[in-house]
């Protein structure tokens, strides 16, 4: 059985050459984001954005919840994959970064599908549940502060429908998950969530060793 390939710069370039379907709007937003402080580290890779869009289409999603907007690249990718009457609710702690995103959402013609909620995402998710949204979302993407990952997951599993998909980014967290000396709150939180997911019988999971680790979590129907 072959082992996982190491993703060299050359191999990653090949992957992009033969599979990435890009356009000017996406490229411009990535370039702008890369110039921001921590921009390159915080934005999803181009091929990950395309993967998210593929997943949204595969599950036939009409309602998407995103935890962590930043400059809205992943938001844009997923919104494009929705039908014209679909909705994507994206949560961020500040309007500073989504404010940058809106120009690109408008250019792409998907701004009417996107509902930005500013504030503590845990509170926003609780408000959605109280308003009757529990068990209604087709797809949830979690890519925010890692220390709160377990709280985001606990809320997401209540909001997503049976058969729906939760995607969690950065679940290998720069390799710190296997470094016993990495005891910072973010590394510990990701490590603990990974162990919890392994044993959560409510879901089926797959941790993909791509990008910075992407975990797919499907809520079981029974």
Contact 173, 213 (CB under 8 A): yes
pLDDT tens digit sequence for 194-208 = 999 999 999 999 999
CATH, residue 54: 3.40.50.150
Q: How far apart are CA 77 and CA 53, in angstroms?
A: 6
Percent of the chain scoring above 70 in pLDDT: 98
**DSSP one-letter code for 131:** I
Rounded to 10 degrees, the C-alpha dihedral 27/13/144/129 comes to: 80
What pLDDT does residue 41 have? Answer: 76
Q: How far apart are CA 213 and CA 99, in angstroms?
A: 28
What pLDDT does residue 88 have? Answer: 98
Residue for token pair 């990974």:
194
pLDDT tens digit sequence for 157-174 = 999 999 999 999 999 999
Structure tokens at 178: 């296997």
- The domain in which residue 117 lies consists of 47-219
Asked whether residue 191 is assigned to any structural domain, the reply reads yes
Asked whether residue 192 is assigned to any structural domain, the reply reads yes
Helix (H) or strand (E) holding 46: helix 46-58
Tell me the pLDDT band of 2, cut-offs 50, 70 and 90. Answer: low
Asked whether residue 29 is assigned to any structural domain, the reply reads no
Asked whether residue 118 is assigned to any structural domain, the reply reads yes
pLDDT tens digit sequence for 69-102 = 999 999 999 999 999 999 999 999 999 889 999 9
Structure tokens at 186: 């973010």
Which whole-number Å values give the CA distances from 50 to 1, 19, 66, 122, 177, in the listed order?
28, 9, 15, 27, 26
What pLDDT does residue 92 have? Answer: 96
Angle between helix axes 73-81 and 24-34 (nearest 10 degrees) is: 160
What pLDDT does residue 114 have? Answer: 98
Number of domains observed in the structure of the chain: 1
Asked whether residue 96 is assigned to any structural domain, the reply reads yes
């Amino acid at each position: 059985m072959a082992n996982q390939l190491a993703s060299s710069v050359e191999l990653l370039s090949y992957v992009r050459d033969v599979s990435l379907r890009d356009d000017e709007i996406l490229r411009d937003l990535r370039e702008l984001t890369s110039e921001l402080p921590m921009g390159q580290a915080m934005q999803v890779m181009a091929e990950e954005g395309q993967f998210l869009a593929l997943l949204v289409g595969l599950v036939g999603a009409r309602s998407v919840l995103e935890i962590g907007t930043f400059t809205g690249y992943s938001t844009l990718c997923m919104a494009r994959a929705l039908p014209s009457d679909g909705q994507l609710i994206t949560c961020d702690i500040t309007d500073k970064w989504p404010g940058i995103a809106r120009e690109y959402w408008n250019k792409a013609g998907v701004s009417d599908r996107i509902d930005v909620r500013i504030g503590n995402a845990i509170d926003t998710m609780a408000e959605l549940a109280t308003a009757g949204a529990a068990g209604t979302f087709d797809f949830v993407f979690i890519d925010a502060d890692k220390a709160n990952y377990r709280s985001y997951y606990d809320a997401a599993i209540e909001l997503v429908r049976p058969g729906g998909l939760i995607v969690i980014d950065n679940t290998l967290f720069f390799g710190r998950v296997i470094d016993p000396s990495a005891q910072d709150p973010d590394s510990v939180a990701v490590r603990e969530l990974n162990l919890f997911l392994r044993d959560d019988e409510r879901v089926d999971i797959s941790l993909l060793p791509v990008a910075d680790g992407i975990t797919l979590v499907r809520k079981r129907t029974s």
